[in-house]
Amino acid sequence: MRYLLTIRYIGTAYHGWQVQENALAIQPIIQDALQEMFPHRPGVTGCSRTDSGVHANMYCCHFDSPLERDPFGIICSVNRNLPNDIAATHCRVVDEEFHARYSVTAKEYVYRIYNGVHRDPFAHQLAYHYRFPLHHEAMHQAAQHFVGTYDFSSFCANNAKPGDRTRQVFAASVERDGDYVVFRVSANGFLYNMVRIMVGTLLRVSEGKFTPDQIPEIIAARCRDRAGPTAPPQGLYLNQVFYEEV
């Protein structure tokens, strides 16, 4: 049987999702928790890689087992064996053709910027502290130019693997909520560091170093050096994962 497990996590203590030899990752922790319920160590396939320090409000993974187990019981068992910064929220049986990564139709990321003058301990490692004034209206105007199907090479890390860098962005917005400015973007896929580079570019718009109307030129250049810096990881959240089957 194939199970789809949905989790949430604070990524501060982890070097992303994927298992690594010399660093703590989330994938083996989920396997350890599942092994307490199953007589074997299930292989777990995630919906996406995430960078060190990045969080997830919704992260999906699947695993196979010849044993039939109650999905609610799986959630309870897994949560008993997970650290406090990771939690399982949903579980269900899916078709064996379902794949946590390749069946994804869209993802939504959120980037949270704490825009207070003084640091807030409750925002530590959960948002990027940017203490200077933010012109979120100009940032929102600039973000609208991300919407569409483009080659986003300008918004991809230079050390990313080569390949097709065309992605379709469905929606993008910047909104202020008190001392927080939140960037939200959904697409059919994302390049390595794409959202963080988008945020760094939008911050340059707020600073007056770019105008909103320059975003199409930056996209068309297909050159990483034309965009803004890569924003820190602690403000980034994988917010939603979408599947046609679920």
How far apart CA 44 and CA 27 sit, in angstroms, is: 7
End-to-end Cα separation, the chain, in angstroms: 16
Contacts of 89 (CB under 8 A, 6+ apart): 6, 7, 8, 58, 75
Token pair 């650290």 is found at 83
Which of 32, 51, 120, 151 is catalytic? The answer is 51
Q: What b-and-e string marks burial along 94-103, b requiring 16 or more CB atoms within 10 Å of the CB?
A: beeebbbeeb
How far apart CA 86 and CA 78 sit, in angstroms, is: 10
**150 in Cβ contact with 219 (< 8 Å):** yes
Q: Which helix (H) or strand (E) holds 71?
A: helix 71-80
Quickly count: other Cβ atoms within 10 Å of residue 23's Cβ.
11
Quickly count: other Cβ atoms within 10 Å of residue 2's Cβ.
17
How far apart CA 58 and CA 61 sit, in angstroms, is: 10
User: 36: which DSSP letter?
Assistant: T
Residue 51: active-site member: yes
Please give the positions annotated as active site: 51
